[in-house]
Structure 1
Amino acid sequence: MTKAPTNKQDRIRRDHPGWEFPDFEVNEINKKKHKYCVCIFVINEGERVQKQLQKMKPLAKQIDIVVADGGSTDGSLEADFLKSQDVRALLTKRGKGKLSAQMRMAFAWALSEGYEGVVVVDGNGKDSIERIPDFIKLLDQGYDHIQGSRFIPGGKAVNTPLSREIGLHLIHAPLISLAAGQKHTDTTNGFRAYSARLLKDPDIAVFRDIFQTYELHYYLAIESSRRKQYKTAETPVVRTYPKKGKTPTKISPIKGNMHVLKVLFYAVAGKYHKHKK
């Protein structure tokens, strides 16, 4: 009797039985063309992500563009539109979790597709996506963790809310730097890149359900710096907040920021190390 074909996530789970990632659907729109992909994390970003994808279209000549959706319902990610912007694939999370769950989904798919590195960026239009070629060059040079930074020469922070700058410079960056044993200047910035070598490391073990919200960004920054076999770097980027109106973010002012601090303290204390439960 002929077996029914398995879907993509089933094949990944069969090939990597220890990996934990949320259920997701894949719409592969174009063929793989490059050795790296850029994963854009979105949920109900509307016109912001559409404008960002329009700006990113020329980059499809250098890197495969992938949208990692947390379950948008605003109609901004229709297949015809994504195809017109040369998007390689749309991944749609159906299981539980937020950003880190989306990241595990995207990493599992990207590694299963044979990508050698992944650039990650938010889909809310704040980041200087024209700097993506800089991340590609650093991946080509063998770097494993590349952090986009507004606070090194060539970088720029535009209209950053004062409360965020204070929290970053006085709490977030110093604590991550202390745990990493290396200076990090922009630890809340999600514009980064990771090598496949780092993501596949069984001792780092990114494919665990413990990573649900913002844990992975902090954990990987610390672990890649602590371990001598990995090369890390910062590269200048620009992050622009709107002058007026609501700040594009999924972090609520009180509950969300308290959760961010909790995750930060856990990461710094080593709570996410593989041997921890």
Structure 2
Amino acid sequence: MAKTIVVIPTYNEIASIASVIDRIHLTTAGTHVLIVDDNSPDGTGRLADELAAADERVHVLHRSEKNGLGAAYGAGFAWALERDYDYVVEMDADGSHQPEELPRLIGLLDGGDDMGIGTRWIPGGTIVNWPLHRKLISRAGTFYSRVMLRSRLHDLTSGYRGFRAEALRSVDFTRVASQGYCFQIEMAWQFERSGARVGEFPITFIERAEGVSKMSTGIVVEALTKVTLWGLASAVGRAPAPLPLRADVAR
């Protein structure tokens, strides 16, 4: 069985993190979890330490400040790769991603995909507790990103995804410029452009019941600006060079 770790960035997620970890272990008992906490003032980091002390499958990486989702994942990925995990998975801390769907993601990686993405926008994908206007905004943003980046992927912003370690190890994170949720777009687009094998599976996304969303106007502006610039640069042949995946990863 592949050695798998789920990387979960946290900032003020004390209400949900323990439940999410319990559900991960009920679904895949051997999977490890790395909590990457950005010095949460609500005590999430302290709770994470307590969970880690009680369960050898739980680990904690403390960061001194909140400086973006991309930086948190980059630190978590480096930690996992240093410890020779086979698969590295992303999952939100708020329960919006269902741990019960983790075996389907692992199945894509077992089947040879370098990256697997859980998507809301293919048959079988579902969103629960979002008002119509939020669904429309999300679909419009996804459509715009796919058109501008000429991507075949259906959910570039999804945060439920996994990587084979050998593919992730090939990424030069100094070249991944995005810090907010645009990090998800950039990583998926760069993997796709590099010739890596990227698979998708439908997920049920449930709006958080606890805590406060981290989405902000600044995050949206960053994503729209960068997608537009990348798309325009691609149209004139000046897009950033794709991430340099090794020949045994790119297909």
User: Which interval holds the TM-score relative to the shorter structure?
Assistant: 0.7 to 0.9
Indicate yes or no: 2:227 matched with 1:257: no
- Report how far residue 210 of structure 1 moved: 3.0
Deviations 1:181-204 (A, max 9, x none): 442222222111122232222xx5
Asked if 2 retains the 8 angstrom alpha-carbon contact of 1:36 and 1:63, the reply is: yes
Partner of 1:217: 184
Answering whether residue 76 of structure 2 is matched by residue 110 of structure 1, we say: no
Structure 2: which amino acid aligns with 1:187? L
Amino-acid identity (%): 25
Offset from partner CA, 1:9-31 (integer Å, 9 cap, x none)? xxxxxxxxxxxxxxxxxxxxxxx
TM-score, normalised to structure 2, is: 0.81
Inter-partner Cα distance in structure 1 for 2:224 and 2:158: 15
Alignment gaps of 5+ in structure 2: 243-251
Query: Secondary structure in 2 aligned to 1:58?
Result: helix
Picking from 198, 203, 209, the partner of 1:232 is 198
Deviations 1:219-260 (CA, angstroms, capped at 9, x unpaired): 1211221222x11111111111258xx8842112x3443233
Question: Which residue of structure 1 lines up, in the alignment, with residue 246 of structure 2?
Answer: none
Say yes or no: does 1:192 pair with 2:156. Answer: no
**Partners of 2:37 and 2:44 within 8 A in 1:** no
* Conserved 8 A contact 1:148-1:236: yes
Separation (CA, whole Å) in 1 of partners of 2:39 and 2:229: 27
Aligned to 1:43: 11
Measured in 2, the distance between the counterparts of 1:266 and 1:123 equals 31
Asked whether the 8 Å contact 2:39–2:66 carries over to 1, the reply is: no
Q: Distance between the aligned counterparts of 1:268 and 1:125, measured in 2? A: 33
Letter in 2 for 1:190: G
CA gap of 1:129–1:190, structure 2 versus 1, over 3 A, is: same
5+ residue gaps, structure 1:
1-32
Segment of structure 1 superposing worse, 52-61 or 99-108: 52-61
- Aligned residue for 2:62? 92
Q: Distance in 1 between matches of 2:3 and 2:80?
A: 10
C-alpha deviation, 1:88, in angstroms: 2.7
Cα distance in 2 for residues equivalent to 1:266 and 1:85:
45
Counterpart of 1:73 (choices 41, 46, 52) is 41
C-alpha spacing 1:98/1:48, structure 2 compared with 1 (3 Å): same
2:114 to 102, 127, 144: 144
Cα deviation per residue 1:165-214 (whole Å; 9 max; x = unaligned)?
A: 223322334423552x442222222111122232222xx52244734223
Distance 1:99 1:175 in 2: 19
Distance 1:150 1:214, change over 3 A: closer
Once the two structures are superposed, what CA deviation does each residue of 1:92-137 show, in whole Å capped at 9, x if it has no partner? 1226621000011011111111122211011011111110111111
Q: Secondary structure at the match of 1:74?
A: coil
1:71-92 per-residue CA deviation (whole Å, 9 max, x = no partner) reads: 2121234222344455431111
Q: Which residue of 2 aligns with 1:10?
A: none
Q: How many residues align?
A: 237
1:133 aligns with 2:103: yes
Does residue 132 of structure 2 align to residue 162 of structure 1? yes
For the 8 Å contact 1:199–1:206, the answer to whether it is kept is no
Q: CA deviation at 1:60?
A: 5.1
